[in-house]
Amino acid sequence: MKSLGFKKILISLTLGFFIFGIFPNFVFADSNPGDITFTNPLAYDTVDGILAALLVHLQGVIVVISMVFIVVGALLYMTSAGNEKNMTLGKGAIWAAVVGLAIGIAAEENLIDSAPSIATIALNVLNFLLSVTGVFGIIMLVAAGIAYLTAAGNEGQIETAKKMTKWAIIGIAVALGALVIVKQVASFF
């Protein structure tokens, strides 16, 4: 039953995307009641134009989904507290998102002149991810401090708090290192 509801929502969203994304100029007639004219509702004259517009929209969706999964992977990695299963899951999510993003970007044959460069996109994405990672890292450090203060001699909770602190600091350091590397690479372009 749950998958049926999800399928209906997905189909409705897809239809809505196509109707409002591809048919922005949906007008049947002019305001003059004597003359009836039909305008092209697609705003494209060729199949290539429709497919190019569809590709641009799909690439935007791919970029958004990739950024979401990179953030989810980073959050899984940072909250792992040394748990190998969660660390592997986080790394896998990040890797899959980066590969999907690369495939989505590589699918474009005709680059648009007004589009930002790859370096600009990478810097913007990295700045966003760094801000999310920094905020989440600070939250994890505070949570680790609270867990340490409320341990009351419980060795297991003290060790968990220490691991949380260690992995939060490592996550913040990796994010800062990535920022430095990307800014240096972007300066060459």
How many separate helices (H) and strands (E) can be counted in the chain? 5, 0
- 180 with 110, same domain: the answer is yes
DSSP 63-89: HHHHHHHHHHHHHHHHTTTT-HHHHHH
Confidence at 1, pLDDT banded by 50, 70, 90: very low
Dump pLDDT digits (tens) for 58-106.
777 787 788 888 888 888 888 887 788 888 888 888 888 888 877 777 6
147: how many CB neighbours lie within 10 A of its CB? 18
Same domain, yes or no: 85 and 15: no
Q: Do residue 98 and residue 23 come from a single domain?
A: no
Looking at residue 82, its pLDDT comes to 79
Q: Do the Cβ atoms of 103 and 68 come closer than 8 Å? A: no
Domain shared by 33 and 56, yes or no: no
Residues 50, 3: one domain?
Answer: no
118-176: pLDDT as tens digits: 667 767 777 777 778 878 888 888 999 998 899 888 899 999 999 999 988 888 888 77
Separation between Cα atoms, residue 122 and residue 105, nearest integer Å: 12
Residue 49: domain span: 44-188
Same domain? For 129 and 141 the reply is yes
Whether 113 has a pLDDT exceeding 50, the answer reads: yes
**Residues in CB range of 50: below 8 A, 6 or more apart:** 22, 42, 44
pLDDT at 186 over 70: no
Does the CA dihedral 38-43-46-51 come out positive or negative?
A: negative
Please tell me the predicted confidence (pLDDT) of residue 132.
Answer: 80
Mean pLDDT, rounded, for 114-118: 63
- Tell me the two tokens of residue 186: 């972007």
d(CA 124, CA 118): 10
Are 92 and 116 in the same domain? yes
